[in-house]
Structure 1
Amino acid sequence: MSGVIVTGPPKADARDVEALGRYGVATVSEAMGRTGLLGPGLRPVQQGVRVAGTAVTVLSWPGDNLMIHAAVEQCGEGDILVVTTTSPSTDGMFGELFATALARRGVRGLVINAGIRDTQELRDMGFAAWSRAVSAQGTVKATGGSVNVPVAIGGQVVRPGDVIVADDDGVVVVPRERARETAEASEAREAKEAAARAAFLDGQLGLDRYGLREKLAGLGVRYVTYAEHTGESGS
């Protein structure tokens, strides 16, 4: 296929990206109305790492990493490389050499809807990565694709310059126009959860804090004793 390499796309404000990086993927998704998640299939090769950055997107032919080479040139400080393929692929399209080149340019991590390899080396060098698969299978450099165009992963569209937040729970995309409002909503959600956490530590039940007893009653859910439920006397 032919393709295009788009240069200089608009990006979310760095201050908003930094603000979003303070919150977990679950919090950010909930703050956007439970949207933006790229699906449970993208898993981290490391643990205990959270990154946030602006997307540089790649659309590649399966089993061909030519366009990742082209994308490295378009990456800079604070970016996250986001790669997908035109059809499903698990080939190891990305490894330690790519990570070395990207780290040199200030890239914060990789999200790839395909395979990755050299995982131990990536962990050793501290390069954060999330992938659909881990595979030693190599690739070719033979087919054109595109860089910095909208791509679809897990039913979500990722555009160049959108914010990517990734942690142990997965990956979420925040449209660049919504970065600031989402950061503010995430802060409010964290404050609400902190209050709930304190209440639970004090012994309060979620049933009472969230008014769920009334909801259960409204749904016709009843409390009955064991004897009432089983017809046994219990003696």
Structure 2
Amino acid sequence: MPGTIVTDVPRPDEGGVAALRGYGVATVHEAMGRVGSLGPELRPIQQGVTIAGPAVTALCWPGDNLMIHAAVEQCSRGDVLVVATASPATHGMFGDLFATALMHRGVRGVVVDAGVRDTATLRELGFPAWSRYVSAEGTVKATAGSVNMPVVLAGQQVRAGDVVVADDDGVVVVRRERVAETVRASAARAEREDAARAAFSQGELGLDRYGLRQRLADLGVGYGAWADIPEAQ
């Protein structure tokens, strides 16, 4: 439904958003049953930064960032701007001027399924960005799109108000109805990982902790000495 700007989207509980930020992308993705990832192509332009916040979505035409300008007005403190394009685009859709405007509104970061530019300045500003490309190629402002309508990135639907978690490992999306459930599942997974980390630090092997020796045996994997296996020599 292009040509629509939705102004009053629901946003999830801030406590749940903060909890998801604390767990990070890999834990949240695993806790949800390995869903919600926006894929390995959306990469951060910075390192060591984790953000989480409700999505404000913008659907743009390739090479046209008009709807990002419209989306800025709909952003509130704590949001994450998510930009999709109607078809694949390599243009630098987002740069430091947008970041300056969004920082004034308290936006936590941006995810762009196209290109960003002014990356050095974005890092200097401390405004986090994840994108498919880094590109100096410019844009126009001429074509209608939408704001806060559902968009699709890497085959995943993102709705306004869904929680976007992004860090060095990429980006994952949590549907707003699943925030509390995902926080609980992430906490349980983190507890298991802490226990495993402690065990591994004392020398325990994953083969034993996870019962994988039997798995190897069931798959027909055997052990043998070097001298007894000519193919290994």
- For this structure pair, what is the TM-score category when the shorter chain's length is used for normalisation? over 0.9
Spell out, residue by residue over 1:15-72, the C-alpha distance to the aligned partner (whole angstroms, 9 max, x if none).
1101101012010000000010001110101000000000000100000000000000
Q: Is 1:29–2:29 an aligned residue pair?
A: yes
Moved over 4 A (4+): none
Q: Separation in 2 of the partners of 1:108 and 1:64?
A: 23
Amino acid at match of 1:6: V
Number of the residue aligned with 1:209: 209
- CA distance in structure 2 between the aligned counterparts of 1:185 and 1:197, rounded to whole angstroms: 18
- What residue identity is the alignment partner of 2:85? T
After TM superposition, the structure 1 stretch with the greater mean CA deviation from structure 2, 210-219 or 1-10, is 1-10
CA distance in 2, matches of 1:19, 1:199: 25
My pick for the range that moved more, 111-120 or 217-226, is 217-226
Extract unaligned runs of 5+ from structure 1: none
SS at match of 1:112: strand
2:229 is paired with a residue whose SS is helix
Displacement of 1:5 in angstroms is 0.4
SS of equivalent to 2:36: coil
- Give identity over the alignment, percent: 67
The yes-or-no answer on 1:230 pairing with 2:205 is no
Correspondence 1:115-134 to 2 at 5 A: 115-134=115-134
Pairing 1:66-85 to 2, within 5 Å after superposition = 66-85=66-85
For residue 227 of structure 1, report the CA deviation from its aligned partner. 2.0
For 2:4, give the aligned amino acid: V
Report the count of equivalent residues.
233
CA offset digits 1:90-145 (Å, max 9, x no partner): 10011000000001001000000000000011000100000010111110000000
Aligned-pair CA distance for 1:2: 4.5
Length-normalised TM-score, structure 1:
0.97
RMSD of Structure 2 on Structure 1 (CA) = 1.4
Alignment correspondent of 1:3: 3
Please give the residue correspondences for 1:6-21 in structure 2 after superposition, counting only pairs within 5 Å: 6-21=6-21
Asked whether 1:96 is paired with 2:90, we answer no
Q: TM-score, normalised by structure 2?
A: 0.98
Tell me the amino acid that sits aligned with residue 190 of structure 1: A
The match for 2:52 is 52
Instruction: Report the equivalent of 2:43.
Output: 43
Structure 1 residue aligned with 2:136: 136
* Aligned equivalent of 1:183: 183
Question: Secondary structure of 1:78's partner?
Answer: coil
